[in-house]
Amino acid sequence: MGLSEIGQLATVLGTVAALFFTIALFVGAVVTSNSVATVIAGRTKEIALLRLIGASGKSLRSRTVREGLVQGASGALAGAVLGIGLTALGAQLAIMNGALEPFTFPIVHPAVLAPVIAVTAATIIASWVGSRRVLSVSPIAATSSTAEPTMQELRAGRGRSVTAVILIVLGVAMLVGGVFLGLASPTGVLVSVGGGMLSFVGVVIGSPVILPPLMSLAGRALGRGPVPRLAAANAVRNPSRSSRAVIGLVIGITLVTMFAVATETFRTITLEFGEMEPEMYAAFEQVIDVTTAIMSVLLGFSVLLAAVGMVNTLSLSVMQRRRELGLLRALGFTAGQVRRMIVTEAVAMIASSAIFGLLLGVFYGWVGAQATFGSLVGRIMMPSIPWVTVAGVLLVTLLITVAASLLPARRATRVSPVAALAVD
């Protein structure tokens, strides 16, 4: 391999790394913003009391952003140190095994500062976005027991719903236009990309209205007893909290499915309609398989990051619901029933977000492949779905989230009903 080929390979790898770093950064920012919003919602009374004694909403929000700066900078530096250490260890192991020729490389490169700065900045922005509720907390809220808006209140606030509907309708129109434009020219993908971004932003904005009914339906599908019925009702009763918990999973699963479906559809189109020598088919399939595996693994980290964020949000939610859970115990629920209710909520959240993300990913992936390669076949193709890849990501996410939800469920039942009811 010559120097020019090495340079091209380095450029491609750097571009791919930057792309997936951006995706992971976006998912991490969403998770951070949701965690901050959950904490703020649980501290509504405390914030209202601070407002009552003279603190302003801007000063309280600034304090939250400063905390985000400290946490983001410390986490980014710790991640950089860990990443440098793992890279050096991996290189030495590869040299010892003969996979790489002995070479010298810098332990610390100035380029490491870029992700550190990006992560810190993303954490600051996420903290600022997640703490916007601080500005709307009035001193009189100190006398109220309501921390989050109900589904009826969200639907009554038409601004979010109207914005979401406009973005989704406009985005879907552009996606459809990109598909038909792609039958004549690959430039249709440019229109589709814009439509995909608009429609997905609309989905994220409208998630407090879109996702809770899906969670409620999934909860009811898990059984008809009091435990699944309560789990299903909780999703609708606190739509903002429920949507914050799962939107990261929806984003991650959508991305994984989108890239997997787009790659598999490209494989189908090329193998069926491409002019290729028979001996090249095996090599082509191997390249596609390797590409799909690499993309799935890289995007899978985003899904796992979102799953961790969901567990974090669920844990915070359980801590904030100690009084509610204590009341259920006082009314006759056993500790086992409370644990099953919390786990059922987690399963309903995962199932609904997985199905919703899967449908979005299949649609976006098919549109992208069709708009890009539709001119090669001259007609509309059916999407090709790599079920093994999709099922693997969903299964791992399900196992991790359900296993992790057992800890907050167990912690919630360790508190006696009397002590839980005493929580203000």
DSSP of 20-72: HHHHHHHHHHHHHHHHHHHHHHHTHHHHHHHHHTT--HHHHHHHHHHHHHHHH
State whether residue 108 is helix, strand or coil: coil
Distance CA 171, CA 235 (A): 28
From CA 323, how far away is CA 341, in angstroms rounded?
15
Rounded CA-CA distance 413/420 in Å is 10
Helices 387-414 and 239-273 cross at an angle (nearest 10°) of 160
> Tokens 């027991």 label which residue?
145
Exposure string of 271-295, with b = 16+ CB inside 10 Å and e = fewer, is: eeeeeeeeeeeeeeeeebeeebeeb
First CA to last CA distance, the chain: 69
- Please give the DSSP secondary-structure letter assigned to residue 222: T
* Helix 3-42 vs helix 44-52: crossing angle, to nearest 10: 70
The tokens describing 102, both together, are 């002995």
Assess contact for 414 and 326: CB atoms under 8 A: no
Contacts of 180 (CB under 8 A, 6+ apart): 188
User: For the whole model, what pTM was predicted?
Assistant: 0.73
Closest C-alpha to 364, from 186, 199, 135, 150: 199
Backbone torsions φ then ψ of 54, nearest 5 degrees: 120, -10
Three-state SS at 223 = coil
Q: How far apart are CA 400 and CA 353, in angstroms?
A: 15
Residue 76's SS3 state is helix
State residue 67's pLDDT score: 86
Report the amino acid identity of residue 152: Q
Q: What is the pLDDT along the chain (424 residues), one digit of tens a residue?
A: 445 545 554 565 566 567 667 777 877 777 787 778 777 777 777 777 887 787 787 888 888 888 888 988 898 898 888 888 887 787 777 777 766 667 666 667 777 788 889 889 988 988 888 787 777 777 665 555 555 555 544 554 566 778 889 999 999 999 999 889 888 888 888 888 888 888 988 888 888 888 888 887 887 777 777 777 777 777 677 777 778 778 878 888 888 888 888 888 877 777 666 555 666 666 666 666 766 676 667 667 767 777 777 777 777 777 767 777 778 878 888 878 888 888 888 888 888 888 898 899 899 988 888 888 777 777 788 888 888 877 877 787 778 777 767 777 777 777 677 666 665 5
CB-based burial label for 236 (10 Å; 0-12, 13-18, 19+): middle
Domain boundaries defined on the chain? 1-146, 148-424
CA distance 18 to 50: 43
- Please report the pLDDT score of residue 381 as a whole number: 80
- Buried b / exposed e across 94-125, counting CB within 10 Å, b at 16+? eeeeeeeeeeeeeeeeeebeebbeebbbbbbb
CB atoms inside a 10 Å sphere around CB 69: 15
